[in-house]
Amino acid sequence: MRIHILGICGTFMGGIALLARELGHQVSGSDANVYPPMSALLASNAITLMEGYDPAHLRIAPDVVVVGNAMSRGNPAVEHMLNRGLRYTSGPQWLADNLLQDRWVMAVAGTHGKTTTTSMLAWLLEQAGLKPGFLIGGVAENFGTSARVGDAPFFVVEADEYDTAFFDKRSKFLHYRPRTAILNNLEFDHADIFPDLAAIQTQFHHLVRIIPGNGLIISPARDTALNETLARGCWTPRATLGEGGDWEARPLAPDYSRFEVMLEGRAVGAVEWEAAGRHNALNALAAIAAARHAGAEPAASIAALRGYKSVKRRMEKLAEIHGVTIYDDFAHHPTAIELTLEALRARIGAGARIIAVLEPRSNTMKLGVHSRELAQALAGADAALLLQPDGLGWDLAVATQALGSRRRVFGTVEEIIAALAAMARRGDHILIMSNGGFGGIYERLPAALRGRSRVN
C-alpha cells in the first residue's frame, strides 16, 4: 500500500511513518518543518520527505493519506485531498486499525513525562524479554528509533490528550483502548483547543471509561486534578505513586541518580541510573508498576533501569566546550521548566552557574496562558535568556520582571548566541529549552563557543 503522511516530521506522525514502513508499506510525507532528529531518522528508513504542502505531493495517488493534527482547512494539500476525494484517516485511527487490534496496549498519558515514561516502560519490557512494540514521541536512545511493531502482545504508546485531526476533535488517546494506563499528572495545557482544566479532565475521564476491569490505572496518589477525574467514576484497579501511594521513591542521592523503590512500605530494590530529578524517579515508579502488570518482576525492572538511556531532547548533553556544558531540553510548560532546572541543580550542586535559554514556542505558551508562572519556573537559573519572537502577543520582559537583572530578553536567536558566547565561563551549564528547532541554536551555539580561543 502507498501511504502519504501530512505533517510527517512531528514526533507522533514520524512514528506512524516508521511503523507503516516496517509493515511493508511504501511511505512518503510532507511537512513545513523538516529538521533532525526526526528527519534524519525517517530518511534512514527509506521514507521520502517533501518540504511544504504542495498539492503536487499527492499526485503519486496514495492509497490513503494519513493526516496529522497540525493540518487544517485551507492547507493546500488538505484542500487537494478533499477535492479529489482521496481516502484519508488520522494517525491515531490508522494506528488503532493497523496495529492495536488484539494487542495489550500500555498507554502513557499526562501533561508531563509521557515521552520519558513511555521509553522507560518499553525498555523495561525489552529487558524482560517481551519484545514490545512501541510508539514514543521522540527518539529513544536505547532503541535508536521512536517506533517499532514488536512482537505480540504488548504495545506501548505515548497517549496524548491533544485532538486527533481537523475532522476528529476527540483526544488522540481515545483511539488506543489501553489495558494498562499510566496517568502521570494533569495540569492545564493546550490552551489553543481546551478552554480550561475541566475540559481536559473530561477527555481523561473518557479514557478512564474505556479501560477494562481487568486492566490497571497507575497514577499519583496526590494529584488533585487526576483524583477529581477518577472520582467521576473508575471501574479499573488502581496503583498509586509518590507520597502516600503504593509505590514510593526514597532518594539515596540529592539528584535521585540513586533512589530506593518502596512497594506498600517495603523496599524492593535500589535504582542507580544516568537520569536525574525527582520527576524522573516518579516516571520510573510508573514504568516499574506498569511492567509488573505485564509480568515483569520489580527487581528485574529496577536492575534494567541501570542501562536506561533517555529520549533525545530530555536534558540531553549536546556538548562540552572550554568547560561549558550545553544541554537540549524539550521543556515548554512552567512545571516542566521548573522541574528540569531543579534536577540539573541537584546534579551539579550549588556552586555552578545555570544559564537557562528559552523559546516560548508551544501554542499554550504563545497565548500567554502561563505567563504569570514563568518567572517562578525560571527562578532556579542564575541567568535566563529569553527569545521574544515576532507576534508573541505578550511581553516576556514584563512577565519575568521578578527575575530582575538575571533575565535578558532578545528579539533574535543571533543576539542570544552572541550574548551566550560573550558571557559563558568555565563551569557554566547552559540549558536550552524549546519544543522546536529554535533557529538552529543547537548547532550554532557550540560553533560560536568553539570560535573563542578560550573561556575564562
Domain spans of the chain?
2-92, 102-307, 316-450
Indicate the length of the chain as a whole number. Answer: 456
**How high is the pLDDT of residue 33?**
79
**How high is the pLDDT of residue 453?**
60
> C-alpha distances in angstroms, 290 versus 212, 285, 301, 305, 416?
15, 9, 10, 14, 42
Domain at 2-92: CATH code: 3.40.50.720
Q: What is the full per-residue pLDDT of the chain (456 aa) written as tens digits? A: 999 999 999 889 999 999 999 999 999 999 997 777 778 889 999 999 999 999 999 988 899 999 999 999 999 999 999 999 999 999 999 999 999 999 999 999 999 889 999 999 999 999 999 999 999 988 889 999 999 999 999 999 999 999 999 999 999 999 999 999 999 999 888 778 889 999 999 999 999 999 999 999 999 999 999 999 999 999 999 999 999 999 999 999 998 999 999 999 999 999 999 888 888 999 999 999 999 999 999 999 999 999 999 876 777 888 899 899 999 987 777 888 888 898 889 888 888 999 999 988 776 676 777 778 888 889 999 999 999 888 787 888 888 889 999 999 999 999 999 999 999 999 999 999 887 778 889 889 999 998 766 666
**How high is the pLDDT of residue 336?**
83
**How high is the pLDDT of residue 183?**
98
Taking residue 28's Cβ as centre, other Cβ atoms within 10 Å add up to 19
* Superfamily of structural domain 316-450: Mur ligase, C-terminal domain (3.90.190.20)
**How high is the pLDDT of residue 315?**
75
**How high is the pLDDT of residue 362?**
73
**How high is the pLDDT of residue 455?**
62
**How high is the pLDDT of residue 67?**
98
The radius of gyration of the chain's CA atoms, rounded to the nearest angstrom, is 22
**How high is the pLDDT of residue 34?**
77
**DSSP readout, 138-200?**
EEETTTTEEEE--SSSEEEEE---SEEETTEEEEGGGGT--SEEEE-------TTT-SSHHHH
Check whether domain 102-307 has CATH 3.40.1190.10, yes or no? yes
**How high is the pLDDT of residue 454?**
61
If we measure between CA atoms, which residue out of 208, 190, 123, 114 comes closest to residue 158? Answer: 114
**How high is the pLDDT of residue 69?**
93
Grid cell, residue 264, equals 506498600
**How high is the pLDDT of residue 118?**
97
**How high is the pLDDT of residue 442?**
87
